[in-house]
Chain A
Amino acid sequence: MSEWKKTNLLDLQDLSKEEIDLVFETAKSFKEVSAREVKKVPALRGKTVVMLFFETSTRTRTSFELAAKRLSADTINIAASSSALSKGESVLDTARNIEAMNVDMIVVRHRSSGIPGMLSENLKASVINAGDGCRSHPTQALLDIFTIKEKLGRMEGLKVGIVGDILHSRVARSNIWGLTTLGAQVTLCGPSTLMPVDIEKMGVTVNYNVDEVVREVDVLMLLRLQKERQQDNFLPSIREYAKEFGINSSRLKQAKKDMLIMHPGPTNRGVELSADVADGERSVILEQVTNGVAIRMAILYLLSGTHKSIETEQE
């Protein structure tokens, strides 16, 4: 198995197939740790992990925090509201101040694409991207793909449909990278106003007919539709979206027997999917959440073993 050499996790396109496999292999063991009576191992004892969230998040932050705690790391949460930024403190300045307190890893989320990369170039601490702008959300994609692999046992040739607001979705972009790297075929579906230009160049196909997509795929990933999209005139109405692109049980009648329904959460029941689909037997939404902790434990564990070049110039 390949050796882990990355010092940061910024984007999924930085990871090779072998590295993704290593993350999955590692996550499998951590999933077992989370199922134990004593859900804690000492691997990251003495390490400090900071959750630096410039954008509010409950799920991802909690998942990272649990992951770090189960590895015995010390964790700190910093919910840097955007008002702190408008007071004139730059992101980098904030991060440098935190790093000065000798932290080992910084988990960062920011509404602006590229911030984790900028921080990683300027900090000695390992930087983990917990979502930047519309660009990237690598741990979400890793846990999604891990869940697919666990359920269906393969990736090569698998057909995955992603339905929703692709334009604003970092989850979609990261999944596209990961899925295509592992040999899956990705079809995107959603209103044309929410489909980014030239997305086909990422190696995917676009189909605006959701019923066709439902019929042909092995996995259907649904994205959360933000209510603001209607106000910003990307859509005539949420109601029309729900009717044309929402997934309900009658639409699923044409689907393959073992097709999976996935959603990164939080779901808008009645919009991108109906309640019975969300809770139905095809749905692996809660398993995604469980696997999220394991994947994040794996990432924290693997990154804690590599050091930035400043420190590893022996040999």
Chain B
Amino acid sequence: MSLLIKNAKIINAQKAEDNLKDILIEKGQIARVGASIKAGSAKIIDAEGKWVMPGFVDLHVHLREPGREDKETIESGSRAAAKGGFTSIVCMPNTKPVIDNAMVVEGVIKEARRVGLVNVYPAGAITRGQKSQEMVDMYELKKAGCIALTDDGRAVDNSQIIKMAMQYAKMVDILLMEHCQDYLLTGGGVMNEGYNSTFLGLKPDPGVSETVIVARDIELAAYLGARIHLMHISLERSVELIRKAKEDGIKVTAEATPHHFTLTDDAVKSFDPNTKVNPPLRSEKDVEAVKRGIKEGIIDCIVTDHAPHNFEDKEVGFAEAPFGIIGLETALGLVITELVDKEVISAPQMVDRMAASPANIARLANKGLIEEGKDADVVIIDPEIEWEVKAEEFVSKSRNSPFIGKKLKGCVEVTICGGRISYQRK
């Protein structure tokens, strides 16, 4: 089946096209981009008044399958991704069992193909069982289809192991992604250390637990000439360390989540377990620094860290509740409302941080760009529509979002993945 998007205002990372164009999609690829393309047998989608962008790429998603299918499945997570405008997602390996061998990787890929809504790329673990004790078989995982490795949920605590892993991964040529948090330094903290944690009597996680790992990995990358991707950066100090590393030519990339550029630890005052995330929500100045980092490209990409948990798990005390919130369906609205609308970043910059740059980091060569010959992963959004986040409207299996009730601007109209419509707004 072929599709023809008419009157498209195409926005790529390099620039937003001035003139409206048509995009012809055939055989899963962008066949032609130009003025007044004849439809022929193609199904027509009129994009007048909308923005047409390359499909978003999320390097950080928890799909929970295998193991916790009560929270999310590859199918429900794919559906949520498509609704959020994502066409490629990288799923985290902290499942049960952990994605640390080819069999589990193949299982995930097979199920994702069956669902067929978005491209699901598994990330494998860096260490077996994510225990920071021995490296996984990296070649095996790469060959099975992993595009990155991470022990997300926890940093590789053992400095010797992460050094070896970076050295070995450089040879294998696979991306390592680090969950930046020294587990012991968090002191079992459940929220950001500061007046709020003192006031609320909740165990504090000092920010230095993050910056210590950021600094360690930057030093190791510099020493080894290896590359490292630093996950969910949340602090001003981390942004500054990464800025310096980039100036020094160290091969470091970084990501940040929408909740870390929208919410401060003031949100925790409600004791809403949906404000409990890892790393924790930080102070105002950190939120500003993360925004600045995204604007200046110090933080290369925006990821959701979509972390579904069911109601029962969150209906306990704040300290007992699991970390994490869902994010696939609110990311675009938060980016437009908090960053684009407030002129922190431009629309092309948004495309860079949400599509081009993550595609580049993950080496997805034919993605992140609307151009003839590229994969037909396209999202059409209406940047003007205002909507309210409602719990019952999530297609994710979980509803653990701190943004329920919040009014957001910007909404996905159509998501096209591999030339097929994977989501269309009713």
Contact = CB atoms under 8 A, between A and B. Distances in A.
A120 to B, nearest CB: 11
B193 A112 contact: no
Given A196-B197, A197-B195, A198-B195, A113 B204 contact: no
A110 B317 contact: yes
Contacts of B194: 197-198
A89 to B, nearest CB: 9
A133 B268 CA distance: 15
A114 B315 contact: no
Interface string A85-113: 10010111100000000000000001111
B421 interface: no
Contact of A92 (B193, B198, B315): B315
Contact of A196 (B198, B312, B317): B198
Nearest to B320: A112
B195 A113 contact: no
B389 interface: no
A107 B206 CA distance: 33
Interface of A is mostly: mixed
B268 to A, nearest CB: 9
B179 to A, nearest CB: 23
Interface of B is mostly: loop
Contacts of A201: 195, 198
Given A135-B200, A136-B201, A114 B318 contact: yes
Contact of B319 (A88, A92, A111, A117): A111
A94 B197 CA distance: 27
A173 B318 CA distance: 18
Contacts of B193: 197
Contacts of B200: 113-114, 135
A133 B315 contact: no
Contacts of B319: 111-113, 133
**For this complex, into which size category does the number of interface residues on chain B fall?**
10 to 19
A85 B316 contact: yes
A165 interface: no
A76 interface: no
Nearest to B203: A134
A132 B318 CA distance: 11
Interface in B130-163: none
B1 to A, nearest CB: 47
A286 interface: no
Nearest to B196: A198
Interface string B298-332: 00000000000000100111111000000000000
Contacts of B316: 85, 90-91, 112
What are the nearest 5 A-B pairs in CB distance?
A: A112-B317, A135-B201, A114-B271, A134-B201, A198-B195
24 contacts: A90-B315, A90-B316, A91-B315, A91-B317, A93-B315, A111-B317, A112-B318, A113-B200, A113-B202, A113-B271, A113-B319, A114-B202, A114-B271, A114-B318, A115-B317, A117-B271, A133-B317, A134-B201, A135-B200, A135-B202, A196-B198, A197-B193, A197-B197, A201-B198
Given A111-B317, A113-B319, A201-B195, 6 more contacts: A111-B319, A113-B318, A114-B200, A135-B201, A197-B198, A197-B204
